[in-house]
Amino acid sequence: MISSKVLFDGGARETIRRKLLQMTDLHTILGLPTGIFYAQGVKANVIFFDNRPASKDSQTREVWYFDYRTNVHHTLKKKPLRFDDLAEFIRLYNPANRHDRKATWSEATPEGRWRSYSRDELLARDKASLDLFWLKDKTLTDLDNLPEPDDLAEEIIESLEAGLGSLKAVMSALRAGTT
């Protein structure tokens, strides 16, 4: 599992993405809701790839994406992610034959969470970004789709606590470096 920054930042992270696309068969990325493993607001992704013998030819042909982030709300305490929440992903991933997959997204079905992009499409993106979104975030346009107020409050508290923890870690490191 990796933080989303690895999927879109430049520099060494871009080099890692290009190497993954070249040297492995990077075949699936599962985008998870924010805050389920890390502090609230931190995106997490699970990447699936198979190592291949060294070759001049690229190993990745296409990458399948499952967006389980957009319009999905989980919290660490009140609504944690459960195995059953990923049933659709597991079915679409098709572990018995991952080369026989069918997209749920199309122009006719814009709410589909499962789609693929070719290696060339990904490499053509700015900094070869692998952080893709195609679903519309309903919370930006549909106020009836907001999480419950107590869930929002819990997310805010988790964010503040995580921020405070990070600030304490920085202060501790600064103090350790000055003594």
Q: What is the DSSP letter of 52?
A: -
- DSSP result, 83-148: GGGGHHHHHHH-TT-TTS---S--SS-TT--EEEEEHHHHHHSGGG------S--GGGT-GGGSPP
Q: Is the pTM of this model over 0.85?
A: no
Query: Considering its fold, how many domains does the chain have in total?
Result: 1
pLDDT in tens, the chain (179 residues): 554 466 666 788 888 888 888 999 999 999 998 777 766 667 788 999 998 887 888 889 999 999 998 888 877 777 888 999 999 999 999 999 999 999 999 999 999 999 999 999 999 998 888 888 888 887 666 566 566 777 777 777 877 777 787 788 788 888 887 65
Dig out the tokens for 87 from the structure: 């049933």
> Can you give the CATH number for the domain in which 21 is found?
3.40.50.150
Phi/psi region, residue 41 (left: phi>0; alpha: psi -120 to 50; beta: rest), is left
Domain that holds residue 70: 2-178
